[in-house]
Structure 1
Amino acid sequence: MKEFELHSFLNVNLSKKRWADQISKNFNEEAGIDVSQVVVCVFNVPKSISRFNHEAYVPQAIALGPYHHFETHLYQMERYKVAVVKAFLDPNQVNSFEQLVINKLKRVEPMIRACYHKYLDLNGEALAWIFAIDGLFLLDLFKHYGEMEQFIPKKLMKYETLYRDMMVVENQIPLVVLNEIQKIIDGDFELLSLMIGFFEVHSPLKLTPHLNSYIRSTNYLHLLDLMYRLIVNNESPKQGSHHESCHEKQANDMHVITRKEHVIRNMENIKEIGEKLSKFTRFGKMISVIVSIPWEKICGLFGLNIGKKLDKEDDDDDDDDPRVMEIDIPYVSSLSKYAHINFSPSNGGIRDTKFVATEAILYLLVITLEIYSEFVLRNLVAYEIATSSTTMELAQYVDLMSGIIDTEEDVKLLKSKGIVKGNITNIEIVDFFNGMNTSSEHARGKETVKRLNEYYNTILAIKTWKFMKKRMRGSRKVLTVVFIVLACLLMIVYSFYEVYGYPKLFNKIT
């Protein structure tokens, strides 16, 4: 899908008259409304994030709110939204809809505008109608969850697409607006409880178990913000000192057993590894001698200039075709095969993701992946980045998973441990995590990566492999030059053979 252009209400070439009218209106009418306490909560996804998968951050079937409302490919859903709203209201509310809902939303227009990061180039009438229809549609969706087939034919839109569009960052409707609409129509239902019921079915990650106490103490901004907080703030309860000391003792015992197993395995293979190391050392010395020869000057005598080309061999970055970057960490299969690291589901959430070296176990949060889960996770991470969170906990968790998953073998291993669940295929899971660009630069999640790498790099077989890899990488340029020189010599010998013939040349020598 081609990248959408900026919509009319986000166009920098705003109508000067409309701008003047809006400013004048705000100046005269906002005196009684304090918008300083209203939190900006609906953002545009920056290109630095969306360029890797633009379709994941825009609605595919239904627009909620003003950002994507006027895109033509979403128009077909408008009449279905109106049908849902009419069925949601009683006849008296339908007959007096404009006076009851539209006029009251116009009065809180400054508050609505303050929730959005971008200026909305729409008059108050249009804005009120957008939020009245979209807000009531969303309220009805939560109240009659699972009954949408009465109004929206399934062949017209898959419900997975509807759930996916509801979680798009730019498709959010502020909770203050939904609460305002609920008060206007005198809705007798608990909105937050209905939203949590929706999350319990569609969230890819576990929610905090202390929902009731947590909800009362937090002000949520919109649907995506509520899911984000319930995911990030899920952590296992802290244990008492007695339990901690018992756990520490068990961990120390496990540390001794694990180290003994490593020593036995290393002793069994020490002779073979020693022989390999001696060969590697002799080979390394030979390469060092070859490297010390001034090959660039020798190549210059032959008119060869290959140094820069060879140096760029590992530099395939192209500004026009950005590459997905991953954190530097071994894959699941390598961690299991070479470092004998086990994987276990954590009892809590993201904050309980950790590597315990004494146990050689990486504790990971259980993740359930369905068709729409990729888009939900992408938008949750985009929202976290947009709000300038200092911890970036969700982004770092996704970065870790993207770093350790590279092949179907990695996914199969995590599935066998009960860490990865869901109905999508292994290759789809691989493609998702390989398509996520690293987005975290803070230290919290990197502690796990640091401990894993330190543990992994102490394995003797890994040290041996890195020694050889380093030697070969540094000598690749030289070996290429040697090959070229040998090829030139062979061409010279072949030319002599063609001119003189092998018997003639042999007779002259003898």
Structure 2
Amino acid sequence: MLPKRQNESSTTEQHSFDEARWVINVRKSLDAELEEHDLEEVTICIFTVPKALMCSHRDSYTPHRVSIGPYHCLKPELHEMERYKLMIARKFRNQSKSFRFHDLVEKLQSMEIKIRACYHKYIGFNDETLLWIMAVDSSFLIEFLKIYSFRKVETLINRVGHNEILRDIMMIENQIPFFVLRKTLEFQLESTESADGLLVSVLTGLCRDLSPLVIKFDDDEILKAHFHDYNHILDFLYQMIVPRIEEEQEAEEEEEEENRAGDNGGNRAVRFLQEFKLQLNRVLASRPADLILRLPLRIISNLPGFIALKFSADYLFTRQENEATTTTAGQESSSASIPNIEKPPLVEELTIPSVSDLHKAGVRFKPTTNGNISTVAFDSDSGQFHLPVINLDINTETVLRNLVAYEASNTSGPLVFTRYTELVNGIIDSEEDVRLLREQGVLVSRLKSDQEAAEMWNGMSKSVRLTRVGFLDKTIEDVNRYYTGRWKVKIGRFVEVYLYGSWQIFAFFAAALLLILLSLQVLSLVFSSLRLLRLRTG
């Protein structure tokens, strides 16, 4: 019984020790927050990957070469890179005679609570360890990324795998706060203006190299003015690709409401014509009028041989009208109940014809020069599909997946970039689609083959949730309406539905016709035999 009592006493002492340490940490945290930081202005910006995405493609979210920040620090599989990371950080230190890591850690100490507040997952490191991680990793990052500013490539980095390090740097769990990078570079250069200038040069060069879309950057001064809006490197790339889409949508919605209000106030003639047309449709849709107008057609269409003609007429002339009526009714019901942005789309609404099918229907793809997702649009008059130029290389898939994961974790609103990847995934089904996009200048591929590019995009279909994005949904709707309205598509669908889809009926009629022909041939042989017999007997 004595060992049991000893175990109980040791457990009690351990609990009391943990409680005392917990009280000390909480008191220290609250006191530091009240004295030095307004944490209400600090938002969580460095997340862990959602499980739904991590299960689909773990390699795209787990660093293989280097750890940045506390999430993957001290993992055994990343120890090989720690020596090189320290060598590069030491080189960063040697560029300034007054730079000492101990001094940098002391500078960052006042930001320790703010740094912890940026991470979604609990950080188990103590204060000193976390600050040294920030000092070493920020120094390594800045020195590594200087190759995009001075246009030189370090031999050391090439040996350990330049592209693998780039992929690791762009992973959502491998980020450190942007203000830590600024503080580190400012501490070395002893000037905020010089630090911001170098950061702009470094980040724009990095994004040009890694961005899945060809980006047109703003003026450097504009980027410097918005430095406080960027959370980390991945967020910088995200905001370059998806800049303030929600604000633009709200402005467009307000403008549409104003236009509707103006139309309702001053266009009485148009409203009179609309009312007259509505009353005329009601009269024509009444039962007596329907009987008078449709009776001859029904009698003729039910005659043998006119059934296929009836099917074709119904398909070719009423399908588009029904689709327009359904779309209008859906828009009226959605606007009367809940805004579209709050209702997730149906799975059917995510479908769009492939590039090959659209090209056969007369659609031409035009690259946009801005490189922004907001430039995605479809011109129904000319049949031109405007898309930003897509840049594919060995790093693109990892960057795409981490941008999708960051957007899913960072926003509760519409997933703009995710919806864009669904759009591109919808139009790219095969290597033929990739080839057509390359030939029309929308896609620049540095992969081994078009088949590899198609497989990469087809693997991007995994999403956290369905979402509506106004201008992208309108583009999909316009493309589908244009495609289904083409005569080539209508005739092809008619043949597919009523000819290929009714092969059993045609097989039956063919068998019946063959049986009739055989019967006629047998009867002909019988009659000819009887005739010969009569001639002989006569």
TM (normalized to structure 2)? 0.64
Verify: 1:135 aligned to 2:138, yes or no: yes
The equivalent position to 1:60 in structure 2, one of 64, 69, 93, is 64
* AA at the equivalent of 2:375: D
Deviation at residue 175 of structure 1 after TM alignment: 0.7
- Structure 1 residues 454 and 283 mapped into 2: Cα distance closer, same or farther (>3 Å)? closer
Structure 2 distance, partners of 1:217, 1:46, is: 32
1:208–1:233 Cα contact (<8 Å) kept: no
- Structure 1 residues 52 and 475 mapped into 2: Cα distance closer, same or farther (>3 Å)? farther
- What SS does the aligned partner of 1:343 have? strand
- Structure 1 residues 280 and 22 mapped into 2: Cα distance closer, same or farther (>3 Å)? farther
> CA RMSD of the aligned region, Å?
3.3
Structure 1 distance, partners of 2:100, 2:217, is: 42
The equivalent position to 2:105 in structure 1, one of 87, 98, 102, is 102
1:84–1:151 Cα contact (<8 Å) kept: no
- Structure 1 residues 223 and 95 mapped into 2: Cα distance closer, same or farther (>3 Å)? closer
Match in the other structure for 1:376 = 399
Match in the other structure for 2:235 = 225
Match in the other structure for 1:247 = none
* AA at the equivalent of 2:368: S
Structure 1 distance, partners of 2:173, 2:88, is: 22
How many residues are matched?
Answer: 382
Verify: 1:442 aligned to 2:468, yes or no: yes
Match in the other structure for 2:438 = 415
Structure 2 distance, partners of 1:82, 1:118, is: 26
- Structure 1 residues 212 and 325 mapped into 2: Cα distance closer, same or farther (>3 Å)? farther
Deviation at residue 92 of structure 1 after TM alignment: 8.1
Matches within 5 A, 1:448-467: 448-467=475-494
2:416–2:469 Cα contact (<8 Å) kept: no
Matches within 5 A, 1:19-418: 19-34=22-37, 35-90=39-94, 96-98=100-102, 100-145=103-148, 147=152, 149-152=154-157, 154-155=158-159, 157-187=160-190, 188-189=194-195, 190=197, 191-218=199-226, 219-233=229-243, 281=308, 327-337=350-360, 339-348=361-370, 349-388=372-411, 390-418=413-441
- Structure 1 residues 54 and 283 mapped into 2: Cα distance closer, same or farther (>3 Å)? farther
* AA at the equivalent of 1:111: K
1:390–1:442 Cα contact (<8 Å) kept: no
Structure 2 distance, partners of 1:367, 1:151, is: 31
1:83–1:151 Cα contact (<8 Å) kept: no
Deviation at residue 147 of structure 1 after TM alignment: 4.9
Cα-to-partner distance string for 1:384-441 (whole Å, 9 max, x where unaligned): 2222163433222211110000011101111000111031021111011100126451
Structure 2 distance, partners of 1:434, 1:160, is: 23
* AA at the equivalent of 1:205: L
2:419–2:469 Cα contact (<8 Å) kept: no
Structure 1 distance, partners of 2:75, 2:21, is: 21
User: Which runs of 5 or more residues in structure 2 are unaligned?
Assistant: 1-17, 249-304, 313-346, 509-538
List 4+ stretches of structure 1 deviating above 6 A.
91-95, 282-285, 471-476
- What SS does the aligned partner of 2:452 have? helix
Structure 2 distance, partners of 1:20, 1:474, is: 74
1:208–1:231 Cα contact (<8 Å) kept: no
Percent identity, please.
33
Deviation at residue 470 of structure 1 after TM alignment: 5.8
* AA at the equivalent of 2:355: V
Structure 2 distance, partners of 1:325, 1:173, is: 40
Structure 2 distance, partners of 1:414, 1:341, is: 12
The worse-fitting range, judged by mean Cα deviation, of 225-234 and 340-349 is 225-234
- Structure 1 residues 96 and 344 mapped into 2: Cα distance closer, same or farther (>3 Å)? closer
Cα-to-partner distance string for 1:100-141 (whole Å, 9 max, x where unaligned): 122332332101001111221111111011111101101112
2:391–2:445 Cα contact (<8 Å) kept: yes
Structure 2 distance, partners of 1:201, 1:18, is: 47
* AA at the equivalent of 1:344: K
Cα-to-partner distance string for 1:487-508 (whole Å, 9 max, x where unaligned): xxxxxxxxxxxxxxxxxxxxxx
* AA at the equivalent of 1:327: L
1:136–1:181 Cα contact (<8 Å) kept: yes
Match in the other structure for 2:336 = none
Structure 2 distance, partners of 1:394, 1:223, is: 17
Deviation at residue 233 of structure 1 after TM alignment: 3.2
2:170–2:233 Cα contact (<8 Å) kept: yes
2:46–2:173 Cα contact (<8 Å) kept: yes
Structure 2 distance, partners of 1:217, 1:97, is: 28
Structure 2 distance, partners of 1:453, 1:26, is: 56
1:42–1:115 Cα contact (<8 Å) kept: yes
- Structure 1 residues 359 and 144 mapped into 2: Cα distance closer, same or farther (>3 Å)? closer
* AA at the equivalent of 1:197: G
* AA at the equivalent of 2:118: C
- Structure 1 residues 223 and 280 mapped into 2: Cα distance closer, same or farther (>3 Å)? farther
TM (normalized to structure 1)? 0.68
1:234–1:351 Cα contact (<8 Å) kept: no
Verify: 1:427 aligned to 2:437, yes or no: no
* AA at the equivalent of 1:441: T
Structure 2 distance, partners of 1:54, 1:471, is: 46
Structure 2 distance, partners of 1:373, 1:326, is: 27
- Indicate the structure with greater helix content: 2
| Larger Rg belongs to | 2
1:341–1:362 Cα contact (<8 Å) kept: yes
- Structure 1 residues 159 and 441 mapped into 2: Cα distance closer, same or farther (>3 Å)? same
Deviation at residue 25 of structure 1 after TM alignment: 2.4
